[in-house]
Amino acid sequence: MTTQTSTPTRTTVSASTADARKPIAWRRVALHAGCLAALLVMLYPLAWLLATSLKPANEVIASLNLLPSHLEWSNYTTALDGVNNVSVWRLLGNSLLIAGGAVVGNVLSCSLAAYAFARLRFRFRGPLFAFMIATIMLPHHAVLIPQYIIFNKLGMVNTYWPLILPKFLATEAFFVFLIVQFMRGLPRELEEAARIDGCGPFRSFFLVILPLTRPALITTAIFTFIWTWNDFFTQLIYLFSPEKFTLTLALRSFVDASSQSAFGPMFAMSVIALLPIVLFFLAFQRFLVEGMANSGIKG
């Protein structure tokens, strides 16, 4: 996972020829200018979001000016009241409960399956692994309606079970694959040593392999959190009581209303809904970026 750190030192060597230094310096400046300009454009929507969440109602759409004439904190107090008489704290709690449950489920079930695929021998391993890979490409919609019917028959519609339970059954094959790839990189001698010391497959999984797989597990946890947090479609079809809504679903209520006066509070709530992802991103960006970089190319 730490391949990145070695590259800068190597590249400095090639640029050390004296006469080539000047044009390269100019090129470097141009490159940075280009990158920064691109970044400004890319970050504009987020700056707009933050600015608008603090604008008074009459300035929201009136001008190009990003900065509000004064900071309208009441947008946030209105947003905290929530939607449909459900406070933002409740919505936030609901979102956290679903995302947290999904994280626990995915880390547990995907690492178990991954260990079997990466390290254990069993009949039909080849075909089952191929099937698991194929389900990464399976569109969610192909299983959506029967899954809905199943959860409906179990009386679980309008509860959080349909959003959490599947994660305990390793249905997100992407993460199984990710962890398999990581486990394959661990030396086999570790388990052989553990076996000689009398560890069965379960103890060597929990005591030897799982601790070493931590980077892949953290990547799985963070991505699961963010994707579940952002998910809209599943929540839309399974939840309909306002007090069970997540932040994402509450934002949807604004979509229908869409009157300009609600703009400030709507975007204040959008900021609140994005905040956990932004914090996660700032805290774990190395894991996120490298987790993505390693997701498929180290075949």
Partner 1 sequence: MTTTTDLPAGRARTRTATSKQPKRQREGAAWVFLSPWVLGAAVLTLLPMAVSLYLSFTDYDLFSAPHWVGLRNYTQMFTEDPRYWRSVGTTLTYVVIAVPLQLGLALVVALALKNMKRGKGFYRSAFYAPSLLGASMSVALVWRAIFNDGGTVDHLLGTGGWVNRPGWALLAVALLTVWQFGAPMVIFLAGLQQIPGELYEAAQVDGASRWRQFLSITVPMLSPVIFFNLVLQTIQAFQVFTPAFAVSAGKGGPADSTLFYTLYLYDRGFVASHMGYASAMAWVLLLVIGAVTAVLFRTSRSWVFYASEGDR
Nearest approach, Cβ of 21 to partner 1 (angstroms)? 13
For position 109 contacting partner 1 by CB under 8 A, the verdict is yes
With CB under 8 A as the contact rule, the residue among 25, 37, 48, 89 that binds partner 1 is 48
| The two structure tokens encoding residue 282 | 């700032």
Residues 1-40 that bind partner 1 (CB under 8 A): 3-4, 7-8, 10-12, 14-15, 28, 31-32, 34-35, 38-39
For position 130 contacting partner 1 by CB under 8 A, the verdict is yes
Angle (deg, nearest 10), helices 214-230 and 88-119: 140
Nearest approach, Cβ of 70 to partner 1 (angstroms)? 20
With CB under 8 A as the contact rule, the residue among 83, 164, 270, 287 that binds partner 1 is 270
For position 186 contacting partner 1 by CB under 8 A, the verdict is no
Interacting span for partner 1 (CB under 8 A) from 68-76, 83-91, 211-219, 221-229 = 221-229
For position 125 contacting partner 1 by CB under 8 A, the verdict is yes
Nearest approach, Cβ of 264 to partner 1 (angstroms)? 11
What is the number of other CB atoms lying within 10 angstroms of the CB of residue 158?
14
Are 133 and 178 in contact by the 8 Å Cβ rule? The answer is no
| The two structure tokens encoding residue 163 | 């959003």
Residues 67-106 that bind partner 1 (CB under 8 A): none
Residues 235-264 that bind partner 1 (CB under 8 A): 236-237, 248, 251-252, 254-256, 258, 263
Strand, coil or helix: what is 185? coil
| The two structure tokens encoding residue 198 | 């009398």
Beta bridge partners of 83: 86
x/- letters, 195..214, toward partner 1 (CB under 8 A): x----xxx--x---------
**Please, what sign has the CA dihedral across residues 237, 240, 242, 245?**
negative
Nearer to partner 1, 97 or 226 (CB): 226
Nearest approach, Cβ of 125 to partner 1 (angstroms)? 6
With CB under 8 A as the contact rule, the residue among 23, 123, 189, 211 that binds partner 1 is 123
CA dihedral (96, 97, 102, 104) in degrees, to 10, reads: 100
Beta bridge partners of 86: 83
| Cα(163)–Cα(166) distance, integer angstroms | 7
Task: Note the helical H segments in 15-87.
Answer: 21-52, 74-81
Q: How many residues does the chain have?
A: 299
Task: Note the helical H segments in 189-232.
Answer: 189-196, 201-203, 210-212, 214-230
With CB under 8 A as the contact rule, the residue among 17, 19, 22, 42 that binds partner 1 is 42
What values do phi and psi take at 15, rounded to 5?
A: -95, 5
Nearest approach, Cβ of 148 to partner 1 (angstroms)? 8
Supply angle C-alpha 104, 107, 109, rounded to 5: 95
Residues 139-178 that bind partner 1 (CB under 8 A): 139-147, 149-150, 152, 166, 168-171, 176
Nearest approach, Cβ of 273 to partner 1 (angstroms)? 5
